[in-house]
Amino acid sequence: MKNIIVDAMGGDLAPQQIVYGALDAVNEDKDVKVTLVGKKDAIDGLLAEQKYSGDRIFVIDAQDVITNDESPTMAIKLKKESSLVKAFEALMSDGDAFVSCGATGAVLVGAFMKVGRIKGVSRPALAPMLPTLTGGRVILCDCGANVDCKPVHLAHFAIMASAYATAMLGVEKPRVGLLNNGVEEHKGSELAKEAYEKLKTLDGINFVGNCEARDILSGDFDVVVADGFNGNIALKSTEGAAGAVVKLILDGVNNGGLRAKLGALLLKPVLKSVKKTMDYNAYGGACFLGVNKVVVKSHGASKRKSVAASILQAKELADRNICEDIKRGIINYNSTAQEE
Amino acid sequence: MKNIIVDAMGGDLAPQQIVYGALDAVNEDKDVKVTLVGKKDAIDGLLAEQKYSGDRIFVIDAQDVITNDESPTMAIKLKKESSLVKAFEALMSDGDAFVSCGATGAVLVGAFMKVGRIKGVSRPALAPMLPTLTGGRVILCDCGANVDCKPVHLAHFAIMASAYATAMLGVEKPRVGLLNNGVEEHKGSELAKEAYEKLKTLDGINFVGNCEARDILSGDFDVVVADGFNGNIALKSTEGAAGAVVKLILDGVNNGGLRAKLGALLLKPVLKSVKKTMDYNAYGGACFLGVNKVVVKSHGASKRKSVAASILQAKELADRNICEDIKRGIINYNSTAQEE
């Protein structure tokens, strides 16, 4: 049995969709226990309304909430009664993994301060999963936790995200690509060139070379590493462009008369499935790799399905002991790097 | 009358589609003269086959070709009989503007070496135009000419791309955004933060703040500036994601039985128009801003339509004296910056 601590007040649709997601998760997996942290009255009300009578959902009361508008560091330091801070405390005392749909900055800072880095990890990194054209997933790491990086950080990202790919996607030797502005070996910024040299010789890492941004979703990579600034740009450009195409189609249908409307109706299952495939939030959240426990950040707009997916994902990662794998990989790398 | 020099051997479909594009351009605009540089026999053959008998297409013979696989610098230095090198020479002796669909690296290096930087410009930059959701265009600058940048370079990009937006899009005060990983003022990498400070106070530039990558196509910006590495990632992620959505729809239709096929048939005009909107190559090429003459790099896969669009775009920019505008803007900036 794994105890997943969930920040019940984080996200645009909290606490309702968070509570529903927790219910779905415990119904789906008999080995999941969920501890919801947030306004107890509201949470209890939602559980009662859903007629929950099981013994695998617990509630810890927290009356305060951290919002997107606050300074993450100040909020974590000062808001001791917030659902996020109390959830991290519950995680450290009795939890196996953690899920929040709240403010990304606060979740990352909170994890950093309250959960702490795995020994030897210089920079924990945020790693979402994107769909690929071949029906698989690709992990993009880092996507915004570290805007200015050194080559060694990208080496750590490769190690951590490879462990993540193995645990989550079941890939034994994840193919790791380096986000770059060309495929040739000597392409790129100073950082990219130096990172390439490090990744090329990285023990236990299946580095397959540079990945141009247009190939992230190709299915040729299980992991793509980048500094947090570029990873963020790649992630959001992808999101923006996919959204733009969908919006243009909808606009075209709306302005296209009966023929277009009939066409859209007939094509609805296809368009729905494409939308579902491209919606990376549906697969759960982004994992914050490199801290001492499993921390999953789900999208702010997460609904019950996505909340449940994130809880089950967090449980899976705890089951598979991903933090231990990362620790081993980093210790191994750091010892070799020092011998160089 | 403007004389547009065209590298007739550059691009996957050269020389045929380049020659056809030149024909379309002179037919479209009576004030355009095109000088095609490349294998004279082949070009003359294509012109004869198309029964061209006008006096606004000229041919300069060049027997050699620079390919994508060569080192740009070596190729420009050594291949004196290449269409690209001879085209740049024609540009400098008698041309008003230049178009190539050839290897990007070689075009940029060639422009840099043979055409030269505008006095005061530290880094010429590559600026493609992308479609926006509001039916307009947005210029992304730089997209790969300069992988490692300083804040002053981004200020120059803003000045050059603003002049470009005014000349090409007819926008009087182009809204300039800074590509960043968040909209808030203090977001971003060290580079982004320092560039923000410079852009904020830039004389004559309508800086509207940070642009998250998901908003590049929103229509809220006429210009988005970035270092060449980030810009390249944004451009190619956008391309990759839009292509992925289109591919998923096509796959869905192919595997979706009669209903999906009928739907796709009815929706064809909409899907075609979306594809056309998202295909930024159809609007002409990317302009290499900051060199002494108008240099347009069109996509390697350009067909006649896109070649013609690039030629007319180059002519328009020459007509509007964009190089003079850039020169004025940069001189003004550099004099103020020195006074600081």
Domains, chain B, in order of start with CATH, read 1-121+290-320 (3.40.718.10), 123-284 (3.40.718.10)
The DSSP code for A213 is G
Q: Which of B147, B236, B242 sits opposite A189 (nearest CB)?
A: B147
Report the C-alpha gap between B7 and B87 in whole angstroms: 6
* Band of pLDDT at residue A338, cut at 50, 70 and 90: low
The region of weakest confidence among A44-48, B140-144, B213-217, B336-340 is B336-340
Residue with the larger pLDDT of the pair A54 and B319: B319
Q: Return phi, psi of residue B246, to 5°.
A: -60, -45
* Band of pLDDT at residue A281, cut at 50, 70 and 90: low
What's the average model confidence in pLDDT over B67-92?
A: 95
How close, in Å, is residue A247 to chain B by CA atoms?
8
**Chain A residues 236-265 with a CB less than 8 Å from chain B:** 236-249, 252-253, 256, 259-260, 262-265
Contact predicate B34/B22, CB 8 Å = yes
What are the tens digits of pLDDT across the range B266-288? 988 888 888 888 876 667 899 99
Q: How do the residues of chain A divide into helix, strand and coil, expressed in percent and rounded to 5?
A: 50, 20, 30
- pLDDT for the residue numbered A340: 45
Contact predicate A182/A211, CB 8 Å = no
The DSSP code for A280 is G
B172 inside 8 A of chain A by CB: no
Question: b/e per residue, B73-82, with b = 16+ CB within 10 A?
Answer: eebbeebeeb
The DSSP code for B179 is E
Contact predicate A73/A95, CB 8 Å = no
A216 inside 8 A of chain B by CB: yes
* Band of pLDDT at residue A278, cut at 50, 70 and 90: confident
Q: Is the pLDDT of residue B338 over 70?
A: no
| Residue A122: CA count within 13 A, CB half-sphere | 16
CB neighbours (10 Å) of residue B276? Answer: 11
* Band of pLDDT at residue A185, cut at 50, 70 and 90: confident
SS3 A67: coil
B161 inside 8 A of chain A by CB: no
CB neighbours (10 Å) of residue B201? Answer: 11
- pLDDT for the residue numbered A226: 98
Name residue B286's beta-bridge partners: B297
What are the tens digits of pLDDT across the range A119-130? 999 899 999 999
Contact predicate B285/B296, CB 8 Å = yes
The set of residues, in sequence order, having a beta carbon less than 8 Å from that of B174 and lying 6+ positions away, is B139, B161, B162, B165, B166, B206, B222, B223
Report the C-alpha gap between B30 and B326 in whole angstroms: 27
B271 inside 8 A of chain A by CB: yes
Q: How far is it between the farthest Cα atoms of chain B?
A: 70
Q: How do the residues of chain B divide into helix, strand and coil, expressed in percent and rounded to 5?
A: 50, 20, 30
- Is B238 close to A235, i.e. CB distance below 8 A? no
Mean pLDDT rounded to a whole number for chain A: 93
Q: Is the pLDDT of residue B310 over 60?
A: yes
SS3 B198: helix
A148 inside 8 A of chain B by CB: yes
Report the C-alpha gap between B110 and B104 in whole angstroms: 10
- Is A237 close to B232, i.e. CB distance below 8 A? no
Q: Tokens 């330091």 map to which residue?
A: A77
Q: Is the pLDDT of residue A256 over 90?
A: no
- Is A238 close to B241, i.e. CB distance below 8 A? yes
Contact predicate B19/B46, CB 8 Å = yes
- pLDDT for the residue numbered A33: 97
